[in-house]
Amino acid sequence: MSKASAGPLLIFLYGPPAVGKLTVARAIAQRRDFRVLHNHITFDPVAEVLPIGTPTFWATLDNVRLELVTAAAREGIDLVYTFVFAPGDEPHVEDVASAYESVGGSVIFVRLLAPPDELRRRVAEGSRVSHGKSTDVVMLDQVLRERDVYAPIPARESLSVDVAAMSADDAADQVIGHIDGVMERE
């Protein structure tokens, strides 16, 4: 990939729980020199200290994530950042994107999609336990009812990848191809 901009690259990889964000992020990182900041790296330690779901929990979580992303941007680190987006999260999205854009970097948004039945199948997989992720189908259904986790991020063009019938490697190849195309146009 020839980077037109001299700054670092952020891939903002988002989608509903259990869609495969971490798996695809790691497949991208295996192909290119990216670090991965997945949502449970920050969620789990904050949840150890603060009650989940409180305003203080969410504010602290956003601050921890933003501090890590900002430090990576300043250090010139290419990063894949995974996130479960829903309407209302736009300020955090803009803060994260701004961290890279303010140092001359680029941000590429990628939305992973799969139907709810596929998410229910995936959420019960044992591999999620090793990453501290929920394997509770009832909790997943609650999230799907209460938050529009399929929504695209407004005002930001996103590549949408339906990962229901494709491997993480195929999804990573599609993302890398998109990145190469975007970077060549810049």
- Taking residues 15-42, what's their average pLDDT? 93
- The whole-number pLDDT of residue 40 equals 82
- The whole-number pLDDT of residue 62 equals 94
- The whole-number pLDDT of residue 2 equals 37
Whether 3 maps to a domain, the answer reads: no
- The whole-number pLDDT of residue 131 equals 53
- The domain that holds 123 is classified in CATH as 3.40.50.300
pLDDT per residue as tens digits for the range 72-109 = 999 999 999 999 999 999 999 999 999 999 999 999 99
Whether 123 maps to a domain, the answer reads: yes
- The whole-number pLDDT of residue 112 equals 97
Contacts of 149 (CB under 8 A, 6+ apart): 15, 16, 17, 84, 85, 86, 143
Whether 41 maps to a domain, the answer reads: yes
Whether 4 maps to a domain, the answer reads: no
Whether 171 maps to a domain, the answer reads: no
- For residue 142, the enclosing domain spans 9-161
Whether 43 maps to a domain, the answer reads: yes
Confidence grade of residue 4 (pLDDT, cut at 50, 70, 90): very low
- 130, with CB counted inside 10 A (0-12, 13-18, 19+), is exposed
Using alpha carbons, list the distances in angstroms from residue 132 to 45, 67, 82, 179, 185: 11, 22, 15, 30, 39
Confidence grade of residue 127 (pLDDT, cut at 50, 70, 90): low
Whether 140 maps to a domain, the answer reads: yes
Q: How many domains does the chain have?
A: 1
Look over the chain and give the mean of its residue pLDDT values, rounded to a whole number: 90
Whether 173 maps to a domain, the answer reads: no
- The whole-number pLDDT of residue 3 equals 45
- The whole-number pLDDT of residue 147 equals 94
Cα–Cα distance for residue pair 35/37, rounded to 1 Å: 7
- Taking residues 112-138, what's their average pLDDT? 75
Confidence grade of residue 130 (pLDDT, cut at 50, 70, 90): low
